[in-house]
Amino acid sequence: MGLFQREGHSRRKGPQKCPHIVAPQTKLYVAAGERRNISVKMQNLDPIFMTDFRCQFRVGNIEHEKSAVKTFDDNIICDEMQFDHYGIGLSGGTSPVEFNVVWSSGDSTKKHTLDNVGGVAVEVYKCEALASNCGACLTLDTTKYECGWCVADSRCVRPLACEAKSPQDWLNSTQLCANPTIEEFSPRKGPVGGKTKLRIIGTNLGRRYQDVAGAVIVANVQCTVLPSEYHPATEIVCETGKAAIKNSKGPIVVRLRADDANYAAVSKYDYEYVEPAVSAVKPDRGPISGGTDVTLYGTDLDAGSEVHVSFGEVNCEVLSRRENQLICRMDAGDSQGGRQLRIDFDGSRGRMPYPVTYNFALNPRVSTVLPAKTIAAGGVQIDVKGEGFALLQRPRMVLINDRGVHQAGPVCEVEDDSLMVCITPGLPTGDTGGRLHHNFAFDFDGTITESRQLEVYSNPKIDQFSETRFYRPGDNYLTINGEDLNVGAMERDIKITVGGVDCQLTALARKVLTCKPPTEKPPLEGGLQPEVVVKIGNISYTAGQLSYDSPSLTSSVVIVILACIAAMLVCFVCLAIMYRRKTNSHQRQMKYLKTQMDTIEMKVATECKEAFAELQTSLNQYTADLPLGTPIVPFLEYKDYCARVLFPNNPHNHPVLRDLEVDSQKAGAIEAGLREFHKLLMNKTFFLTMVRTMESNKYFLGKDRVYVGSLVMVVLQEKMGYCTEMLKQLLRELIDRTVEKKFQPKILFRRSESVAERMLAAWFTFLMHDYLRVKEKCLDAKYRTVPYSDRPNANDLDLEWRTGINGRMVLQDAEGQKLFHLVKPTEHGPSENQEKMVTEIYLTRLLMMKGTLQKFINDLLESIFSTASRSAPLPAAIKYMFDFMDEQALEHGITDAEVVHAWKSNALPLRFWVNLIKNPHFVFDIQKPTKVEGCLSVVAQTLMDACSTQDHQLTKDSPSSKLLFAKDMYQYRDWVDSYYSDIARLPPISDQDMAALLNEESRVHRGQFHVFSALNELYKYLDQYKDPIMDALEHNEHAQASRLPGRLQDMLALMEADQSRTDYDSSTLGLGYNSNSRLMPRERL
């Protein structure tokens, strides 16, 4: 035969005419261990030419050959072969054995294989491996396998392998297996109305449909077996009947024979008849286009085999369900509006306590896409703006090619209803971009939007490092070169890692990018160097390695090192010479130091003697009684006292201490405006709104709050009753905020961080003036009874030393001057001749000074923390304010006594008494005590420690100032506790009595300050925050009722009139000052 289809010289025409094997079936089944003759039919044999036949069996790589005999009817019968004799491995119960017939002619040894067109092969089987239980064994195909169940051995075997002693010990395919079992069933529950397809899986569940028909009982209700879905012995599918009792349950019983318990199976678990109910749906709205995954919440939602969910006429495809949750996907709706839920479990309507509704809303709409560009690999973030995005669950961006195929990206991240961030998908393999215009759209939960144009650029490229780069400490940036780095991507699309650790991107250009690498080598296995990986969108590049090891030394580095070593040798020689010279100098210095040490030792001895002598003396000349009628303490006037406390940085020249001076052309308008401003401040709603609005602004700093609080107190000083009422309201709000935000309540009133806290300190300042009795014992001996302002200046006096021999000699200021303080000499400036002394030497002087002042300090603290002072009764202001704090603690449920104790200590001792102790010039007409400032700070700290409820562990390393009064601290704290307790037990002060006291205070001190000037200063802050204050008033019903927004607008118009012609930036005096235009308080405000 050639390459063309044409007749040859052979009498056989075509492949069907060739000799080949013919068998009724392609598989010849033989039991393992059986000896059997394989017989096959042959066709087209040549009896003259084909004389010798043999059978070949190939098991794996081993080939067995058996002799064969050809019968007269062209059958080939192979000699017997036992198939398991050669260790045939069975898999799944059967193992194929390849079968062929070969022939030869006469004496020729050449063998030819007959065609096996049908693929005839031998299949060896083993009954034990084919079935492990009786039911599976008896349902095997009897045309292939000769197997039965041996009851005695409980295994599937061939008939001859079972030693049956009785007919009952052997079961064939026509008999029924005993001991059926139910391994599992589903579903576990169903509706009361039935019609649930119940799938029962087990063993020995009958041999045919007739065995199980009518044999299934589910929770005492008949279950109709479906013959089309019955799998003999292993699986039964039946349809449950209607339950007579709601919420009933019971086991599943399969009874193959009604009169024999050995043929009955009972399930381990019960089947329940339930009434599924739906209580809620989430989300309850979605786009008309559908695709929204809706979750239904309720009970027994996993009941039944089939469930159908719809909202109105719109179907919702069930995706998954559990006992209390069912998820389905909405089909597209036809219009907006609500649709009521309908759910059927196997045809039974689900129960709903109240109607559950799902609303269809307008489909989301895309307005802009920025930036409308990407790279071929995709992965670029784009911002999509529009509306209705909150309705979406799985929005994606898709690219559309010319064939209409969609290439979808990952799910977009919805930021809010009008913005989502999407990741662009990559182009299919083969498309490389190059600024191509591609169509893209969005997949909104299965709905494709209208297509748009997107520019697709070629993928950027990253240049490989020419060699390993080295990181050196101090290198803050890693530079990586490339091409088209920022053409189609932005900074947020680029991520750089060094050994898996982020390298923060700092700059991006078209051909270069920089990042900040980690300062330490990332941990890697095997000591490998970290690789620099740049990911741009969906494409990653490995730029190279960044080594954190020291680079190998080059020849130039070696030369530098050698030069350094030579220089070090030279330096060493020079140092040796200098050391020799220094040693000689050191010996001389040692001799000098020994002399100095002897001198210092003598001075220490002298100092100790002087300290001992001073301990035995006292300060009688300072504590001696003065002549009768001599003024002891030079108190300041009320106005000066208040000015120094309220405005410590400018107490002598503050604007509130003088008349307001403005340009004459606008004096009338400003006076009218300030009067209107004063009237507004007298309105509770306006006052509280102004303070709240200012404090809510983050740019209203702490110093501004203190200053505004001081100005408010100056303005309200003549209305102390109204002032107290506003102060209490602000304090209530401050306490409410502290408790609500769960701040530490103990630190309340400790710092002036609010207007209310500053007003509280000023309130005590006003009302405690008449009560002040301070023991001041550190005044000058000569002028201790003369006010500081009346004393002569030290520079105007000369001291003269008179002696009988030398006559008179004027002393210089620098002669005989000596400081005795517990400070280092260097703190007073360097001095060449100054001899250093050990500061601990002066501890005896410190004890002496403490002993001298102990009585005065005790008298001071006793007078402060005493409710029955010898000189004056307890001020009503303290009792009134402390009762207010107790009421606020009770109102907010604060039961910790230490919290109220801290409030009182922070409000009065810390904010008032400590301030006066550290600054006695606030009360007395004395010079600011800079020389004894440290001593006063110790006294003030002692008072603060006495008010504290915490015990501080003192050691030898603690400050000397705290160790001084350590033994007295428990007595002082007892005084403080008794003081607070005694005040609490005093009868409360009625609001009428307090109002009378406050009115008297206002009457006595009326006119001390210039209210116009204070209003002018306060107006500057009002002008800064006028817009938020106006907005707050417009949203306040009480303010609207009192026309406060209009009045404020009128006041601002008066104050801002004619600004183009005048300068009103100065705090007190404008550029066009006119002495005839002063704003004087012509009538009381």
Nearest to 335 by CA among 360, 310, 365, 307: 360
Tokens representing residue 624 in the block: 């001696």
Angle at alpha carbon of residue 341, lines to 335 and 342, rounded to 5°: 120
pLDDT tens figures, 665-718: 888 888 899 999 999 999 999 999 999 999 888 888 888 889 998 899 899 988
- Three-point CA angle 267, 270, 271, nearest 5°: 110
Q: Are strands 27-31 and 121-125 parallel, antiparallel or unpaired?
A: parallel
Q: What is the DSSP letter of 873?
A: B
Helix (H) or strand (E) holding 474: none
pLDDT of residue 615: 57
Q: Partners of 40 in the beta sheet?
A: 76
395 burial class (0-12, 13-18, 19+ CB within 10 angstroms)? buried
Confidence at 759, pLDDT banded by 50, 70, 90:
confident
Q: In this structure, which CATH number among 3.40.50.450, 2.60.40.420, 2.60.40.10, 3.20.20.80 belongs to the domain 277-361? A: 2.60.40.10
For 910, the token pair is 């810390």
CATH entry 3.40.50.300 includes domain 365-457: no
- Report the pLDDT value the prediction gives residue 3, as an integer from 0 to 100: 36
Task: Report how far residue 540's alpha carbon sits from residue 497's, in angstroms, rounded to the nearest whole number.
Answer: 11
Residue range 461-547 forms a domain whose CATH class is mainly beta
* Predicted local distance difference test score (pLDDT) of residue 598: 80
The one-letter amino acid code at 678 reads H
The CATH code that applies to domain 17-125 is: 2.60.40.10
**CA–CA gap between residue 478 and residue 80 (Å, rounded):** 81
pLDDT at residue number 267: 92
pLDDT digits (tens, 9 = 90+) for 387-438: 999 999 999 999 887 777 778 899 999 999 999 999 999 887 655 656 688 8
For residue 788, the surrounding DSSP H or E stretch is none
Fold of 720-785+854-1005: GTPase Activation - p120GAP; domain 1 (1.10.506)
| Highest-pLDDT range among 232-246, 462-476, 835-849 | 232-246
**How many other β-carbons are positioned within 10 Å of the β-carbon of residue 196?**
26
Instruction: Write the pLDDT tens digit of every residue in 280-330.
Output: 999 999 999 999 999 999 999 999 999 999 999 999 999 999 999 999 999
860 pLDDT exceeds 50? yes
Question: Is 17-125's fold the same as 720-785+854-1005's?
Answer: no
Please answer whether residues 987 and 874 qualify as being in contact, where contact means their C-beta atoms are separated by less than 8 angstroms: no
pLDDT tens-place string over residues 702-714: 888 899 988 998 9
Name the region of 65 (left: φ>0; alpha: ψ -120 to 50; beta: rest): beta
Q: In the chain, where are the structural domains located?
A: 17-125, 176-274, 277-361, 365-457, 461-547, 664-718+1006-1058, 720-785+854-1005
pTM: 0.48
Q: Which residues contact 386 (CB under 8 A, 6 or more apart)?
A: 364, 365, 366, 367, 368, 418
- DSSP state letters, 914-926: HHHHH-GGGTBSS
Nearest to 188 by CA among 247, 254, 268, 271: 271
Q: Which residue has the tokens 């195909």?
A: 141
What's the pLDDT tens digit per position in 1009-1063? Answer: 889 998 999 999 999 999 999 999 999 999 899 899 999 899 998 888 745 433 4
H or E segment and range at residue 564: helix 555-615
Residue 377 DSSP label: T
CATH classification code of 176-274: 2.60.40.10
How far, CA to CA in Å, does 349 sit from each of 218, 298, 301, 855, 896? 21, 14, 12, 94, 60
